Chains A and B, each alone.
Chain A
Amino acid sequence: MSALTLLAKTDCHINAGCAFPAPGLHSFQFKPIFTVGGVEFTKPMLLAIICMVIVVGFFWSAFSKPKLVPGKLQLVGEIGYNFIAKSIAGDVIGKKGKQYVPFLMSIFFFVWLMNIMAIIPLANFPSTSRFAFPVALALLVFVTYMFLTFKTHGFKGGVKNLVWIEGLPKPLVPLIVLLEFIQNVITRPFTLAVRLWANMFAGHMLIVMFSAAAWYLVTPSFLAAVAGGSLLLAIGMTAFEVLIQFLQAYIFTLLAAIYISGALEEAH
């Protein structure tokens, strides 16, 4: 835990006349590891690359030489593959979903692993709590969504698919068209990115908060009990985060599938 490390170094406790180093936005900003031509390379980027290597490495060792009777690693990989292919692509998009499985699977495992990094010792930071990473993925989903909408329906049909709802009373048409446009073209990509980012941001903040407080309050006084409670909460939040990390990766992937499905649908 970065905050904890700092606290441990600084030995900042409540009885040492030290103000509580409350976590904040600064907890999400890192000194560059190195700088190349004015471009700063930071820890979240390193973690994203490590996640990429782990995802590729895992599925490479599981799937590169597949056997008819799978080994343990291949079996685990197949469970992951079937989860995306059947529970997300198959259930949401249907038969056409088969060709989007690689996209959805890359999103899910990349996002999930970046989320998990929040509770992995030494990493202790979810790259997805830096807004740029969810934005990058949401942007890809949005581009795919738009591309498929216009590819399936043509320009006119695509626009209609995005803003039009059949059978509206005439006075409502301008309002609904405006709302539909805002929802499909502006809100969808924005909320997709913000939902993931905010969840991981808040989760990291909570864990840092309770960990920092536990360390800050560890003193030879009754406050040690409060410190113990804070530590328990930090542990509890960590366990809870495991669930959130999976859930957010799942929701992100599920929504991507729903958008793709909406783009492929005949008029709605």
Chain B
Amino acid sequence: MMTFLAQGGHAQNPLIPETVELVVGLIAFFIVFGVLGKKLLPTIQKTLDERQDAIEGGLERAQEAQTEANQTLEEYKAQLAEARHEAARITEQAREQGAAIIAEMREEGQRQRDTIIAAGNAQTEADRRQVTVALRQEVGRLATDLAGRVVGESLEDAARQSRVIDRFLEELEEKAEAAR
């Protein structure tokens, strides 16, 4: 197999194809063509198409996921903003309410104080009047007694007695005013 015809061997015209070689070449080619064309290349083309699909599908899915993520983020942001707004609103309301309560309390306190003061004043006035009346009666009685004793004459007449006491008291008040 590794040897060729000796130099003495006949050398054909190399441009005349040998029939047997031609046939062997054709058969060998058709076997290659048959196996590749019928079986292997359609198979690999299918796989290449599938791969293309898979890659494009993958990209599409990634796109979808991205869109969904963006949407969720938007929603989340919107919710957050709303919550913040709500919180601010509640805080504001609470502050307003607090202020209102304080104002009310203050008013209430003022009112109570006024009431207490007024009540105190009224009491004092009443006491004073009572004391004044009591004093007036006592002083009147004492004065009458004293005057009766001094004058020696019983001044029984109530009206006169009263007039005399009033006049006396007025004089006392005037003196007190003058002294002040």
Q: Which residues of A contact B (CB under 8 A)?
A: 2-3, 5-6, 21, 24-31, 33, 39-46, 48-49, 51-52, 55-56, 59-60, 62-64, 66-68, 74, 77-78, 81, 101-103, 105-107, 109-110, 127, 130-133, 135-137, 139-140, 194, 201
Which chain B positions have C-beta within 8 A of A44? 21
Are A140 and B5 touching (Cβ within 8 A)? no
Which chain B positions have C-beta within 8 A of A3? 4
Whether a CB of chain A sits under 8 angstroms from the CB of B41 is yes
Whether a CB of chain A sits under 8 angstroms from the CB of B179 is no
Q: How far is the CB of B175 from chain A (nearest CB, A)?
A: 127
Are A135 and B24 touching (Cβ within 8 A)? no
**Interface core residue of B11, B28, B31 (most chain A CB under 10 Å):** B28
Are A60 and B32 touching (Cβ within 8 A)? no
What are 5 A-B interface contacts by the 8 Å CB criterion? A5-B2, A26-B9, A52-B29, A81-B44, A132-B22
Q: Which residue of B lies closest to A57 (CB)?
A: B35
**Interface core residue of B3, B5, B25, B47 (most chain A CB under 10 Å):** B25
User: Complex: how many Å from CA A40 to CA B47?
Assistant: 43
Q: Which residue of B lies closest to A21 (CB)?
A: B7
Q: Which residue of A lies closest to B16 (CB)?
A: A131
**Interface core residue of A21, A39, A103, A110 (most chain B CB under 10 Å):** A110
Quick one: given A29-B4, A40-B20, are A106 and B29 in contact (CB under 8 Å)? yes
Are A102 and B41 touching (Cβ within 8 A)? yes
Which chain B positions have C-beta within 8 A of A110? 28-29, 32
B 12-30 binary contact with A (CB < 8 Å = 1; else 0): 1011111111101110110
Within 8 A of A (CB), among B26-70: 26, 28-29, 31-33, 35-37, 39-41, 43-44, 46-48, 50-51, 54
**Interface core residue of B9, B11, B18, B31 (most chain A CB under 10 Å):** B18
Quick one: given A60-B35, A131-B14, are A29 and B21 in contact (CB under 8 Å)? no
Are B14 and A201 touching (Cβ within 8 A)? yes
Q: Which residue of B lies closest to A54 (CB)?
A: B32
Are A48 and B35 touching (Cβ within 8 A)? no
Q: Which residue of A lies closest to B44 (CB)?
A: A63
Quick one: given A2-B4, A29-B4, A40-B20, are A132 and B12 in contact (CB under 8 Å)? no
Which chain B positions have C-beta within 8 A of A56? 31-32, 35-36
Are B21 and A133 touching (Cβ within 8 A)? yes
Quick one: given A64-B40, A136-B26, are A27 and B35 in contact (CB under 8 Å)? no
Quick one: given A40-B20, A66-B44, A133-B25, are A102 and B37 in contact (CB under 8 Å)? yes
